[in-house]
Structure 1
Amino acid sequence: MTTKNQLLAVTGLSPQVVTETLFALHQQGEPLPEAIHILTTAEGYQRARLTLINDGWLGRFYDDYQLPKPAFSEQHIHVLEQADRTPLTDIRSQADNQAMADGITEWIRQLTEAPDTTLHVSIAGGRKTMGFYAGYALSLYGRPQDRLSHVLVSADYESHPQFYYPTPYSQVIYGNDPSRKPLDTQNAEVILADIAFVRLRHGLDQALLEGKSSFSSSVAMAQQALNPPHLIIAVKARELIANGKRIKLSPADLSFYLWLLHRQQTDQMAPTCPSDGAPDSDYAAEYLNHYRAINGELGGVDRTLSHLQNGMSKSFFEQRKSRINKILKANLHQAAQAYLIIPVGRRPQTRYQITLQKEQIHYQQEING
């Protein structure tokens, strides 16, 4: 059974950021997570296990505030790994840095996979780079319901090894500095600071959302989707290369797409769909110029010529348009919009065009049309 509300905390040598985050949520009257996950290093694992579980600080928080306890055990403390699957002890090299980034990205991808869950990522603990990658990974995979935060703790209590949350009763600890002044944990202030982030999930390829991916691959895919539209037409290969992705089309479909682009690039009016029972012979002639150039180069003849011998019909026009758009959406997802054949204007004068500009289109091999 999928846990709907989950907290993922990035921690290093200060596992108390978990209980501080939980206290802040409770203080603000917000729902507490049903499950808690921790991402950390090998030493961070020992600290989290010994303090939160063995020493009972997590259970103590829930008992103090009489709250139902979440799913949390040693299995919820995840040690980031090096490329050879050995536990990551610290981030000391570029390889460590890459392994950490990939590990954090993969965990956040998994925890955002189920559509009916909510993920709250806390970046209060661990090295700054760990927090950065957690925030960036949530930007890549986060959904509208997901959240990113940091906890702010009053100076005397921040990073204090004996402070885990403001208690509902008086408890004295001593300052973590030469003064050793007495402090009452009841008086500590903990504030949850939400961090706004840009959600780029719509720009990721479905394969990255469904399968394991490195941090660099995820970033590259999101960047590709955000780049200005650019189309390369590879006539001989019968491909469109949109945003760097190769999309195979049949000669009939590619010819239709090229026909529309050619009309736009030669400043002709965008075509309307032929009326039912009234095939358009001019459209058919223009289209066949492109089709013959492609088909003659590749060899072979199909049923396209016979379908157009009396002109371009409404069904032919709509089938080509729908099939091309379906292929573009399947390959480009949200990034497909700029390349789709879209309707412009109201019926019965609706015309169809592709919104790309001339400078965004490049032909690997020109054809006559």
Structure 2
Amino acid sequence: MKRILLAVCGLSPQVITETLYALHQNYQPVDAIHVITTRDGKERIFAQLLSGKSGHYHRYLAEYGIDANSIDFGPDNIHVITDEHGNEIPDIVSESDNERLLGKCLELAFRFTADPATAVFFSIAGGRKTMSACLMVAAQMYGRPQDRVYHVLVSPEFESNRNFFYPPRKSKIIELLDANGQPFFKETKYAEINLVHIPFVSIRDRFSGEYLDSPKDPGTLLLSLIKEEEAKLTVNLLNLKVIYKHLEADLMPARLALYVFFVLQKKNCPKDVSSCGKCRECFMNIQEILGNQGVIADIYGRLRKHYYLGADRVSGIMKLDKENFNSYRSKVNADLRKIFGVHAVKDIGISPIGRRPNTRYGIKLDKSRIEVIY
């Protein structure tokens, strides 16, 4: 069975060699290493681990007599998180960055667990806490009985030390810092690296086949587990929540105002049909939407009473035009997609139909499955 170490890493690439050392000390061979990191993390890995024979990864293999060809680990195995334009991001500093990180974790977890002849070791020891959390989510979504989640605990004085990457066979003295930041010297033979097996609950076997044919976002995967023949969409204007299949989404007031407008347009449609799921009479073109600016502004005015927005803040929702309507619609759907998943947004999002310039917009979900609480 091929054993793959899938790790997250920030600016301390030592965690890779420390984890590899701990696995080997526990008689766990590794056949391939893949690392999820940022642009800055990649540069550290290249400079400190993979820089030829002087790189600490290669030095570790040579020192412990491990054939370098027995482990697949090189530049192609470093998976850098990118933004929507394909640019490598230097750090995880925003919600958008975190979404891209989670997507990468899910993508690689899906890819490496697709082959039943593999075992994946998810290492959550490196990087920012959000990186560990995202990889843990990926393990819970796609992990199998043969997969493991590991953390490594390193003696505090050696942890993240720039000169310590693994305990060498022959102990040597290195400079460390104490709790007060004062330097002192200690032999590496006193360094302890403990491999900690983290139990996790995988829900992979509860997904039907269609949810395992390609990577899916967590919202889509979780909603697939909720067995409801007719899930209802609830928009609660008292607590400003959008609720669908027992999950809740919070939208910014301007976005919620636009969404409520479309929800009410659907809910209050006077057309009498047995099922409005395929009817599109309530869908509106851009001119009709802009013609309802007063209605949207009134909804926004009622909602903003529940938020502290500042006396001088005026939202663009109060003066809609074609461009900012498309921007608001995109952001509303992105908010819903983040919580409820891609497939749910096809029903409950603000959807377009028809080709330009005859595009119309509305919500596809049957109005009998929509509830608005005032």
Measured against the shorter chain, the TM-score band is 0.5 to 0.7
Task: Indicate the SS of the match to 1:181.
Answer: strand
- 1:223 shift after superposition: 4.3
Q: Any residues of structure 2 matched to 1:7-86 within 5 Å, and which?
A: 7-28=5-26, 30-54=27-51, 55-69=54-68, 70-86=71-87
Alpha-carbon distance between aligned partners in 1 of 2:30 and 2:57, rounded to the nearest angstrom:
13
- 1:232 shift after superposition: 4.6
Task: Indicate the SS of the match to 1:211.
Answer: coil
Q: Any residues of structure 2 matched to 1:285-324 within 5 Å, and which?
A: none
CA shift digits 1:278-319 (9 cap, x unpaired): xxxxxxxxxxxxxxxxxxxxxxxxxxxxxxxxxxxxxxxxxx
Alpha-carbon distance between aligned partners in 1 of 2:93 and 2:221, rounded to the nearest angstrom:
27
- 1:201 shift after superposition: 0.7
- 1:104 shift after superposition: 1.4
TM-score by length of 2: 0.58
Asked if 1 retains the 8 angstrom alpha-carbon contact of 2:106 and 2:215, the reply is: no
Letter in 2 for 1:221: L
Asked if 2 retains the 8 angstrom alpha-carbon contact of 1:81 and 1:103, the reply is: no
The corresponding residue for 2:197 is 194
Structure-2 change in CA distance of 1:223 and 1:192 (3 Å): farther
The corresponding residue for 2:221 is 221
How many correspondences in the alignment? 229
Letter in 1 for 2:220: A
Task: Indicate the SS of the match to 1:192.
Answer: strand
Asked if 2 retains the 8 angstrom alpha-carbon contact of 1:80 and 1:104, the reply is: no
Alpha-carbon distance between aligned partners in 2 of 1:151 and 1:127, rounded to the nearest angstrom:
15
Structure-2 change in CA distance of 1:75 and 1:138 (3 Å): same
Letter in 2 for 1:150: H
Letter in 2 for 1:203: R
TM-score by length of 1: 0.59
CA shift digits 1:240-299 (9 cap, x unpaired): xxx98xxxxxxxxxxxxxxxxxxxxxxxxxxxxxxxxxxxxxxxxxxxxxxxxxxxxxxx
Asked if 1 retains the 8 angstrom alpha-carbon contact of 2:5 and 2:122, the reply is: yes
Alpha-carbon distance between aligned partners in 2 of 1:47 and 1:232, rounded to the nearest angstrom:
51
Alpha-carbon distance between aligned partners in 2 of 1:13 and 1:232, rounded to the nearest angstrom:
47
Gaps spanning 5+ residues in structure 2: where? 232-243, 246-367, 370-374
Alpha-carbon distance between aligned partners in 2 of 1:60 and 1:33, rounded to the nearest angstrom:
17
Asked if 2 retains the 8 angstrom alpha-carbon contact of 1:11 and 1:39, the reply is: yes
Alpha-carbon distance between aligned partners in 1 of 2:195 and 2:124, rounded to the nearest angstrom:
11
Using the aligned pairs only, state the percent identity: 36
Alpha-carbon distance between aligned partners in 1 of 2:132 and 2:188, rounded to the nearest angstrom:
26
Alpha-carbon distance between aligned partners in 1 of 2:228 and 2:107, rounded to the nearest angstrom:
30
Asked if 2 retains the 8 angstrom alpha-carbon contact of 1:172 and 1:184, the reply is: yes
CA shift digits 1:78-126 (9 cap, x unpaired): 1111122111211222211111111111111111111111100101110
Alpha-carbon distance between aligned partners in 2 of 1:220 and 1:71, rounded to the nearest angstrom:
33
CA shift digits 1:213-254 (9 cap, x unpaired): 3xxx334323441x3x43359xxxxxxxxx98xxxxxxxxxx
Q: Any residues of structure 2 matched to 1:1-369 within 5 Å, and which?
A: 4-28=2-26, 30-54=27-51, 55-69=54-68, 70-177=71-178, 178-213=181-216, 217-225=217-225, 227=226, 229-232=227-230
- 1:9 shift after superposition: 1.1
Asked if 1 retains the 8 angstrom alpha-carbon contact of 2:22 and 2:194, the reply is: yes
Alpha-carbon distance between aligned partners in 2 of 1:110 and 1:230, rounded to the nearest angstrom:
29
Letter in 2 for 1:198: V
- 1:162 shift after superposition: 0.7
Letter in 2 for 1:76: N
The higher radius of gyration belongs to 1
Alpha-carbon distance between aligned partners in 2 of 1:66 and 1:86, rounded to the nearest angstrom:
38
Asked if 2 retains the 8 angstrom alpha-carbon contact of 1:200 and 1:222, the reply is: no
Task: Indicate the SS of the match to 1:53.
Answer: coil
The corresponding residue for 2:257 is none
Letter in 1 for 2:66: L
- 1:205 shift after superposition: 4.0
Alpha-carbon distance between aligned partners in 2 of 1:170 and 1:188, rounded to the nearest angstrom:
10
Structure-2 change in CA distance of 1:188 and 1:19 (3 Å): same
Gaps spanning 5+ residues in structure 1: where? 234-242, 245-362, 365-369
Say what the alpha-carbon RMSD is for the aligned residues: 2.2
Asked if 1 retains the 8 angstrom alpha-carbon contact of 2:113 and 2:144, the reply is: yes
Task: Indicate the SS of the match to 2:7.
Answer: strand
Q: Which runs of 4+ in 1 moved over 6 A?
A: none
Alpha-carbon distance between aligned partners in 1 of 2:177 and 2:6, rounded to the nearest angstrom:
28
Task: Indicate the SS of the match to 2:30.
Answer: coil
Asked if 2 retains the 8 angstrom alpha-carbon contact of 1:208 and 1:218, the reply is: no
- 1:57 shift after superposition: 0.6
